[in-house]
A and B are shown apart, each in its own frame.
Chain A
């Protein structure tokens, strides 16, 4: 007896992706992708360059529009096959509703360069969510404090190191109070010595119970933090399972090759 039965059931998966496909022209980038993420779980997405990981992530929060398939996040369910034929307005609304449920951390941070760190963080809460500025500022300060950047609140992004910028990127995502956090190779633009800080923060978030989908090449992180690892190959989720299985004893030859290449680059 509810409008949105999914949202009612705490044991329902937080994210389900069913049969999602996406092509750019005649380049079929996603082929009937299925994925399920339980509430509070971290799922690591691995796969070769160009296999469609970023596209998949972007489909989850409406930055990209799948040609077909269903994405449902925290009770918000969008069937892209039917939305696609319902017109631009409806599509925009559907994408917006997905976006409200998740927040994304980008490979290249994508902070707003013309705003200070704290302005970056409160932009969404104040301008979009309509929360009061003082309340948003208070939250933002607490979040910055917790990632060790309280003293950078009034700096501009370019005055920060890559690792600091990415932590701001994460704080900006957290400040939106999303149900789902999406990370697209959050550490791959960082100098090696700065990677650790960001991974540690992500591990803390996982421990706090955030539901996260993380595209990453950090197999160690995946092994220790992820509940599941999904291997994407040529637009398909070829293999998904606990890290010990997918990374330790892959069933598919393609997965085995990929993991071996990541572990032993030479």
Chain B
């Protein structure tokens, strides 16, 4: 099989550009919003109020129990039929944030529960209420526990953004599809797209390693 190297190099520019202006910002924004949802859902899940925790449980269950592709289609193709039309960008962000939020909620919840009960007591002892205790004492310690699993969530999210090509998002994979359709070089373009994803994920993993290996001066070696 001949490899059309000139097409390869020629496509690398547009593909990288699509990653930089599409895939990466989409993943970043969705992740940040998803984390807000995750913390909220995790706290709701820990609430003593049955209704509140039930609501969070339902959200998490629906997100984890349905395919991301279905979630994307419901937002982009489903909502218009009940009169809600949303463009590809916001649709993708909404669906991906909801998705990440549902998965990360359980990670955040486990991290909060992993903080020693004595920390709550010490926080209450110095006079804090629940909210302040969470903000000043519990969440900072939970965050350390949550970093490794959440970096994995982020890496998965970067790859999952490729599904948004199906709701017309102009991102890396859609760009590859466009070039492939035009040049009929499917093998080359899809492998090349895969390579670009791979490079992004390699960079993220090395960042993750550095984050995890950072000398952790705050936490005693148990």
Residues of A near any B CB (own CB < 8 A) = 61-63, 92, 96, 99-100, 103-104, 106, 108, 110-115, 123-124, 127-129, 156-158, 172-173, 176
B219 interfacial contact with A, CB 8 Å? yes
Who on chain B is nearest to A111 by CB? B122
Is the CB–CB distance between B128 and A114 below 8 Å?
no
Partner-contacting stretch, out of B23-31, B101-109, B135-143: B135-143
Provide the bound-state CA to CA distance between A99 and B217, in Å.
31
User: Complex Cα distance A99/B121, Å?
Assistant: 11
Extra pairs beyond A113-B220, A128-B128 (12, CB < 8 Å)? A96-B127, A96-B129, A99-B125, A108-B118, A110-B116, A111-B122, A113-B219, A114-B141, A123-B136, A127-B132, A127-B136, A128-B126
Task: List B contacts of A104 (CB < 8 A).
Answer: 121, 125
- A110 and B126 form a contact (CB under 8 A): no
CA distance in complex: A173, B125 (Å)? 9
B122 near A176 with CB under 8 A, answer no
* Alpha-carbon distance A108/B116, docked complex (angstroms): 11
A-B contact pairs, 26 of them (CB 8 A): A63-B121, A63-B125, A92-B129, A99-B125, A99-B127, A103-B125, A103-B126, A104-B121, A104-B125, A106-B118, A106-B125, A110-B118, A110-B121, A111-B122, A112-B122, A114-B140, A114-B141, A115-B218, A127-B126, A127-B136, A128-B127, A128-B128, A157-B220, A173-B125, A176-B126, A176-B127
**Would you give the shortest CB distance from A180 to chain B, in whole angstroms?**
12
Complex contact A63–B118 (CB within 8 A): no
User: Are B128 and A110 neighbours in the complex by a CB distance under 8 Å?
Assistant: no
Q: Which of chain A's residues has its CB closest to B124's CB? A: A63
Q: Give the interface centre of B124, B126, B218 by most chain A CB atoms within 10 Å.
A: B126
How many interface residues does chain B have, given as a range?
20 to 34
Q: Shortest Cβ distance from A105 into chain B, in angstroms?
A: 9
| B-chain residues with CB within 8 Å of residue A115 when the two chains form the complex | 218
**Which residues in chain B, 199-222, are within 8 Å of chain A measured between CB atoms?**
217-221
Given that A111-B122, A113-B141 are contacting pairs, would A127 and B219 also be in contact in the complex, using a CB cutoff of 8 Å? no
Q: Please report the C-alpha to C-alpha distance between residue A127 and residue B118 in the assembled complex, in whole angstroms.
A: 19
